[in-house]
Structure 1
């Protein structure tokens, strides 16, 4: 599952918990400022909570307790994996497409506000400074500016309107509005986000109504001024609107008696409860994932690798010695499992369960290949029939041993290849080809099977002529195997003579 989807799921679960806490316990209380802080805190916690990756911490502790063994598919080491598009990729694409739509809509609303501002002019009504607009729109405020068309309202209502919008500007309610608008852009798919958006804006109106009435305005006259507003109720402008949309609810809350102070205990109870529920969800999921890794990782990796090796080595390795796979690096090899293919041993310091049977951290061309203790630049010249074992080192183990000597190449992993030695022979005289000067002037030890074709500077030669070549004249050698016939060809380029 992509990291983006995981983040969105966690964030929206926490956001839903906060909204449910508000809806069932707090929305009917008259502690409007506390409700504002609660809703803002819930929104910010939902955005930041997924960044506290507790599950990765727990899984890391479990990973450090043991290591596991992976099998190497020889063909996978020299093949590239073509990218695939799955359902998650489509989901992420649709998500960003819809986010783009809401983002464009958001900027259109900002542009509309900018146009209204440019077309308005500074004015003053008694003691209130505002921007006089000519459009038929409801009064609104943005940041510390009030926008009103005075020709649409009676003089008796204008004083209440300016007092109302002045509270919005003084309390910086625009910050709450911008935050919730951005939240709906990113969390558009969650219905709770839209409910939270409405709750935040409603609560801002409750706060404003309370402060206006506390300034000495008559309750009934103020409520009548709300009813007298007859302009359009549809707003494409971002800001705090003097709106009739929630008029009934606002009047009901204005007439409601002050909540008893004993209800303050609900805030003390609800907020910690939601945080604990979110933590329990994360820790329980992390525990399940950790247990799954510790109990099934080795068996799944071995099973997947064994199947891959059975399929991929039928035509390349043939009948050979049984493969021994240690269940645990610390266990005796006598308790290992066997299949009918060449023995390959792989060692690594940590296991990435997303990578399956592939070797994590090793990409085509990136690892440092060590053949019988010496570095080589390509695997093409190595005959699989002559391989005794392969060891793969990753991360700190590779860098600690080979980093000081070979530099940054060891950062991406080290593949150690050991070739077979016939009875009574040494590594040196067991090789048919010696002193093949590659990138690092390394001897490539390989037995050449019958039927192999030889080419020198593009010209076909016989095997006898090949064996008589002076290794010191060879500049490069490339081995190519025909997948259809199973036969290989060796292409040799000799050094150019100095003029």
Structure 2
């Protein structure tokens, strides 16, 4: 609304500028045809120029960087749901009132057009080469509208009628009706601006000057022509949408008929509007974009300055700017940066692109962004000098490549946990260890459980070793979405005392995650490869301590809508071979998407514990969890559960109602979660515990707000994820 209001002010400001230029510089000149085009140009320039913008890039010095120590301690919080009453939107009320008045003026124009057709319907018609003459019995003043000329022959002599028809033929020939309708529409839209009404009046007056000057030449006798003008003064009944032979400013028309033609040298006055328009464009239509230049400070406390070149691409970056910057990078720094596959939305904002580079050291990199929303700013940077880094930075996703020359002694390689422990023992004095970014001891490294490692690298530089370890726990904190046994989990759903064991882990960056799993993957995705099992940590163990197999004998299995036949068969075999449990899939049925909608399971541990479980639905089943806790000396703890904690919980009616609403949404429903558009499949994967409210809105205002055109309702879901984050 604010952008529209600013545009509205600019348009009215330009209308006033053109009117004042005409009124004080051109009104008394006899350049009638030039004045006509000047006034028309003023109208169209006023609405078009505010839509044209130019971008100016300025380079600014970076702000000083201040380093702070941030505590990683968990801080408890309370989520409090409050209903916030939105203030009354006076801006919208005023807008619709203004729009309503404009509609009234438009309707008035349409009514007058209908009145015109009613008048010509009953008149006597005579077709000529130039126009269609309508001899009407009404008391209307003579007028023309496009190629129709209407008059009452009973009211004028033959000579007077010839003057009138000659005058109106000029209007018809030069299509003055277009000017008239354009001015009427502008008055209807900008009715609040009083200058617009004066603008229209001057336009119509100038059209009469044009017709008078040319018709009086044809008549040869200006005196008789002027007498005809005076004769029609007594009858003032007229339609405002037509070109009238009579105009109320008859005195001015007669004065202008007797005015000597203006000297052509005075045409220079038209050029005086150009400096004003140039000033308008420079003052109001140039957007300044600031880009930080040159110096990047190392994040170490012993900071050093590095000279950097960089180019920021955001949603408003133009193709011309991209071309200019890529040519500069090639010419000045020998970096070939290619940006292609650019897609823009209706607002001309970039929503997709692909960027790749290669520098003089043959270091290459690539980034690809694709979606429906405007892109977040992407920074391309290159550190100058030896070993300078080069790459892209986009929010929480970075792609960095280090340029290493042949004489550099720095090497980085992946090693196993056993190799890292051996290296730290053999070169204890020359080895520094970081676990999840925290400087750690050799004993901390030895205590790690190898199965809980996400990545392990050693950097060797000048006989110094730096071992960098990232654990699953760190990855869990960084990534909010986990794919375990093909099932999607939010990080908040995994209890802190649970360890996940799997064959390997693969991490997707933000772009890849969103492309595959939607907006819920915006904070990163961890994919646990192979069959994964859950087990509990020893609550008394120190962080990252290796857990002996004897310390836990509980495992969990999950069966959901995407469980494959092979996975089910493997689970049957594993439970029998490892624990002598007879586990059976008695029945299953899938829908057209391959999702399980009916499932019947049973188990018998041959120790006295046995149970059946069944779900029969028209939509995909909810996940079912099988808890297996083996007790060698007594009865096993084994059973089916509907939650990942694998405990018996009382039925939560509120939660059940939320689940029911989501499950029964139409596949084509328009759904917004925290302001982001979600598909039905994406909503099905949400953690219901994180949903604050689910609203089904059907009112016109809500449908308009969410741009819903082909549906009768929009579903708006609010979560507490932001608060948790």
TM-score by length of 2: 0.43
Q: 1:425 aligns with which of 516, 529, 544?
A: 544
- Residue 2 of structure 1: how far off its partner (Å): 3.4
Aligned to 1:35: 35
Q: 1:474 aligns with which of 639, 642, 646?
A: 642
Q: Is the 8 A contact 2:233 2:246 kept in 1?
A: no
Rounded to whole Å, the distance in 1 between the matches of 2:646 and 2:176 is 72
Write the mapping of 1:327-476 to structure 2, written as runs, cut at 5 A.
332=299, 370-371=479-480, 373-374=482-483, 382=493, 400-406=511-517, 409-410=518-519, 414-416=522-524, 423-425=542-544, 473-474=641-642
Rounded to whole Å, the distance in 2 between the matches of 1:222 and 1:213 is 6
Aligned to 1:267: 270
Q: 1:224 aligns with which of 198, 212, 227?
A: 227
2:42 is equivalent to residue 23 of structure 1 = no
Q: Is the 8 A contact 1:138 1:231 kept in 2?
A: no
Long gaps (5+) in structure 1:
69-73, 295-327, 336-348, 353-360, 363-368, 387-396, 442-455, 458-464, 480-488, 494-499
Write the mapping of 1:39-118 to structure 2, written as runs, cut at 5 A.
39-54=39-54, 57-58=55-56, 85-118=88-121
- CA change 1:31–1:380 in 2 (3 A) is same
Q: Is the 8 A contact 1:435 1:471 kept in 2?
A: no
- CA change 1:94–1:491 in 2 (3 A) is closer
- Residue 20 of structure 1: how far off its partner (Å): 1.4
1:206-258 CA-partner distances (Å, limit 9, x unpaired): 11111112224311111111000145425334111112311011111111111
Q: 1:279 aligns with which of 281, 289, 294?
A: 281
- CA change 1:76–1:249 in 2 (3 A) is farther
Rounded to whole Å, the distance in 2 between the matches of 1:471 and 1:62 is 65
2:353 is equivalent to residue 244 of structure 1 = no
- CA change 1:331–1:207 in 2 (3 A) is farther
Aligned residues: 373
- Residue 332 of structure 1: how far off its partner (Å): 3.8
Q: 1:131 aligns with which of 134, 137, 149?
A: 134
Rounded to whole Å, the distance in 2 between the matches of 1:236 and 1:246 is 16
Q: Is the 8 A contact 1:210 1:254 kept in 2?
A: yes
Instruction: Select between 227-236 and 260-269 the one with higher mean Cα deviation.
Output: 227-236
Rounded to whole Å, the distance in 2 between the matches of 1:129 and 1:245 is 26
1:180-211 CA-partner distances (Å, limit 9, x unpaired): 11111211111121111111111100111111
- CA change 1:414–1:166 in 2 (3 A) is same
Rounded to whole Å, the distance in 1 between the matches of 2:145 and 2:127 is 17
Which one scores higher on RCO, CA 8 angstroms, separation ≥ 6? 1
Instruction: Select between 162-171 and 249-258 the one with higher mean Cα deviation.
Output: 249-258
1:293-321 CA-partner distances (Å, limit 9, x unpaired): 99xxxxxxxxxxxxxxxxxxxxxxxxxxx
Q: 2:199 aligns with which of 196, 199, 214?
A: 196
- Residue 350 of structure 1: how far off its partner (Å): 6.8
- CA change 1:14–1:374 in 2 (3 A) is farther
Instruction: Select between 275-284 and 466-475 the one with higher mean Cα deviation.
Output: 466-475
- Residue 77 of structure 1: how far off its partner (Å): 13
Aligned to 2:356: none
Long gaps (5+) in structure 2:
66-76, 303-312, 317-372, 375-477, 498-507, 527-536, 564-612, 615-626, 630-635, 648-653, 660-725
Task: Please state which structure has a larger fraction of its residues in helix.
Answer: 1
Aligned to 2:332: none
Rounded to whole Å, the distance in 1 between the matches of 2:238 and 2:132 is 23
Rounded to whole Å, the distance in 2 between the matches of 1:50 and 1:383 is 54
2:290 is equivalent to residue 181 of structure 1 = no
Q: Is the 8 A contact 2:125 2:133 kept in 1?
A: yes
Aligned to 1:163: 166
- Residue 29 of structure 1: how far off its partner (Å): 0.9
Rounded to whole Å, the distance in 2 between the matches of 1:86 and 1:96 is 16
- Residue 405 of structure 1: how far off its partner (Å): 3.3
- CA change 1:405–1:226 in 2 (3 A) is same
- Residue 96 of structure 1: how far off its partner (Å): 1.3
- CA change 1:80–1:167 in 2 (3 A) is farther
2:223 is equivalent to residue 211 of structure 1 = no
Bigger Rg over Cα: 2
Q: Is the 8 A contact 2:481 2:488 kept in 1?
A: no
Q: Is the 8 A contact 1:119 1:133 kept in 2?
A: yes
